[in-house]
Structure 1
Amino acid sequence: MITWLNALDSFPDTAQAWAPHSDAPGLLAAGGDLSVARLTAAYRHGIFPWFSEGQPILWWTPDPRMVLPVDEFKLNRSLRKTIQKFRRTPGCEIRIDSAFDQVIESCANAPRHGQNGTWIVPAMQLAYKHWHAEGCVHSFETWVDGELVGGLYGIGLGKMFYGESMFTRRVDASKIALAALVCFCRAHGIQLIDCQQRTGHLASLGGRTLPRAEFEAHLRGAVDLEGPAVWAYDESFWSHLDLAA
């Protein structure tokens, strides 16, 4: 049986999530709300909302969990050349939080292979915009000649970053934003980027799975640490990638 949350209910123990081979692996609870307080409590324990239009709010905690250890990010030859060209081309820049609303709306509208519609429904967009206004949700943006061409958004809690979604309007624009996020994390001592669900694309970039217990143990040691004081991208952060090879 799924746990139904009322407004004041806490989340159940994550061990109660549906098993990996069930109809909805990782499903923990339904209901509740998308308030900043509720979202903060959820992410601190590795729980996230994911539901479609017309469904109740559904809360998930998969086992295993897809993560990207920032020291294991795979920079292949093609992406290295793309970033090198991006850095030396006038008008190309990485920005953080300069167009958050555009980023989350673009992620919601981005086509997804094998999916109809989006899980970033209007209620989700509004909730994360409110959370962004409180300084916990951030966008990493790829800009070319004043045009937003790709990016991603996610949550920063302490020394933990939870990646949510990305979009691209030009080849590799979202990968450039992800590489910039990796550099930012390395510069600020953030060791792990949560990716939630396993995909071949993330695995090709260095993503791998962790057992839920190991992921939660990392959270307990990361979310209460002091996070970045300033969310802004400095060109010097690119030095955290081996771009000379």
Structure 2
Amino acid sequence: MDEDSGMVGYERRAFLAGFSSLGVTALAGCSGDTGSGDGSGGGGDDNIKQKYEILDNEMDGSGDAQISTLTVENKTDKELNPTVSVVFDIGADGHYGSNTDEQSVSIGGGETAEMSLELYDADALTEVAVNEIQNGYFSITYLIDEVEMSFQEFGDKPSQYVSFKVLYDGGWQGALGTEGGQRSISGQGDSHLPVDNGANIVSGNAQKQDGGSGTLTVQILVDGEVISEQSTSAEYGVAQISENI
């Protein structure tokens, strides 16, 4: 996942409950129709889809992790040993983070097997990733032996991704706003914060909460690219920035 660890205003229990309320639930009998395998040999897409079916899928929060528990059916009369995997992308193409997990299992002919895969570790998410899952766009892809069996999208893909970063080793506080309003922000260490993707003007500031000589930097990003940046090394210094998007 994203290496940044700032989670301003982050409350894990509410977040997990919010994720569950999105309706990310069972894909009974899902056998995706994507892919262009020739159907020959064990790895052909069509061949894999003829052998397996995902019968059920339940989501559950276990501690900090969000878990997907799958029931996979072996539709042949022979024992098979598939590798089942999931790719969880936050934002289009994993813009705000991506996680992959897999498990290899043995399934007898005509039988089913249950396995649990981790979608993400909630404790590792930035606030911008949390916001994207709750209010933006994310996708979940399930694969068997690297063949896509199911692809689910949640939310609408934005035309652009706008975010705000504060880079500092210590404590800081400030404000972040668009033409639609302003909110107070604060944190300890680097933080990656969400901004309304439809904003035309973004402004933000952060002030060091100590008298050290370390550098505090604020950045405005569009689609992951820094378009504006300001820094301060002054004691209790303030870095302020504003940009037309």
Instruction: Considering Cα pairs closer than 8 Å and 6+ residues apart, tell me whether 1 or 2 has the greater RCO.
Output: 1
Give the alignment's TM-score, normalised by structure 1. Answer: 0.23
Say which one has the larger Rg. 2
